[in-house]
Structure 1
Amino acid sequence: MISKVYLIDDDEICLLSSEYIFTESHYSNGCSIFNDPRKALTTLMQDLETDNLPEIIVLDMHIPAMSGWEFLEKLKPYEAQLRNKCFIYMLTSSVNESDLVRAQSCNLVFELIRKPFTLDKLNQIVRDIVIMKNKYA
């Protein structure tokens, strides 16, 4: 079971559907949802202080208040603390190849996911996290 999940998106429908997928899959007891990445960042900074990180962050790439890229930029100083503990998945409706290349070059991003978020994608994420946890345990 995944202990802590953050969903960050300005699209309320996307947030609710992603939360539903996590909850109904029984992989998680619930998600913390944020429609403003700045609030998520503040919460994540508190998590870093207490070493109580979310295992998964699903982060929308394009949010007017603070883009996913800006969010990741703020996390760069904490990359070592986050690595192999907090898996960040960027979510996008973009088909721009440069977004994929940029996500692949960012050490904090585990994968770029095209919207919509699905149960099949969640199953893959959980498998990937189990592999990564076993690899670095």
Structure 2
Amino acid sequence: MNHKIDLACIIDDDKLYVKMLSRLLDIKKLCKEFLVFENGSEAFSYFKGVFEQPEEDKIPQVILLDLNMPVMDGWQFLDEFVKIKSKLKRPMTLYVVSSSINPEDIQRAKAFEEVSDYWIKPISLGELEEMFQQV
């Protein structure tokens, strides 16, 4: 099967959710490969390194970002990510995927130009497919 997405990225500390999401990505063949980071700090370190030595095949086309994580949460990640994103040459779609239904969180996330949309957990298979088709 010819994948539309080569590389995706999940930034989330919920191991069970990540396992389920990973399984769905595999089963539906929504991407060739995916990266998983347990917090924003791990993800930011990866992106900073890739952006300093631009290697297009190591830059995800889709990022699924949780907001509530230890070490560096999704908000802190977004604050840092916007500072380095200008170095990016490959198109990227970033979705915030959170269990928060707080309208303030949704509005705040959508205020970031880098955030394509806000999705509420748990994500269904149909919603996941929709995300990847929009890219």
Q: TM-score, normalised by structure 2?
A: 0.87
Q: Does 1:58 align with 2:69?
A: no
Is the Cα contact below 8 Å between 2:48 and 2:84 reproduced in 1? no
**Structure 2 gap ranges (5+):** none
Please identify which structure carries the higher helix content: 1
- Name 2:18's counterpart in structure 1: 15
Alpha-carbon separation, structure 1, partners of 2:33 and 2:27: 9
Match of 1:27 among 30, 43, 46: 30
Is the Cα contact below 8 Å between 1:19 and 1:30 reproduced in 2? no
Over the matched positions of the two proteins, sequence identity in percent amounts to 23
Cα displacement (A) at 1:126: 2.0
The count of residues paired between Structure 1 and Structure 2 equals 129
Alpha-carbon separation, structure 1, partners of 2:109 and 2:89: 15
The more displaced of 91-100 and 29-38 is 29-38
- Name 1:98's counterpart in structure 2: 104
Alpha-carbon separation, structure 2, partners of 1:114 and 1:32: 21
* Aligned-residue CA RMSD (Å): 1.6
Alpha-carbon separation, structure 1, partners of 2:110 and 2:23: 28
Residues 83 and 114 (structure 1), Cα distance of their counterparts in 2 relative to 1, 3 Å cut:
farther
- Name 1:135's counterpart in structure 2: none
Q: CA offsets, 1:17-49, max 9 Å, x none? A: 111111111121231111122111111112223
Is the Cα contact below 8 Å between 2:40 and 2:71 reproduced in 1? yes
Alpha-carbon separation, structure 2, partners of 1:67 and 1:99: 13
Q: Secondary structure at the match of 1:4?
A: strand
